[in-house]
Amino acid sequence: MRFLNLSSSTVNRLETLVRKSENYRVRQRAQAMLFSAKGYQRSQISDLLSVTTETVSSWFDQIEENEDWDLKDLPGRGRKPIIGEDNSKKI
């Protein structure tokens, strides 16, 4: 089992995100990283955050691959508008 090895500055940044971020998903991902740094297994983290183990693993894989990680959702995620921009201007 591998755990995230976080610097103290990263831990401080994550703790700030958990307390102050308005985005629920950002808070959830930051909390997952903090749990991992404290030695929690991915299955335990998934239970605590009510997500699948695969989701937690996906978050950690993305973080480990990219040094300039960001916890926000990537553009294009979520439901697409039913009415296109052309039609919304007419309405």
For 13-30, the pLDDT digits (tens) are 889 999 999 999 889 999
- Is the pLDDT at 87 greater than 70, yes or no? no
| Section 29-36 average pLDDT | 92
Predicted pLDDT of residue 88: 62
Q: What is the rounded distance in angstroms from the CA atom of residue 50 to the CA atom of residue 35?
A: 14
Q: What percent of the chain has pLDDT over 70?
A: 76
Helices within the chain (DSSP H only): 8-20, 24-37, 42-49, 53-65, 85-90
What predicted TM-score, i.e. pTM, was given to this entire model? 0.73
Predicted pLDDT of residue 2: 67
Predicted pLDDT of residue 28: 94
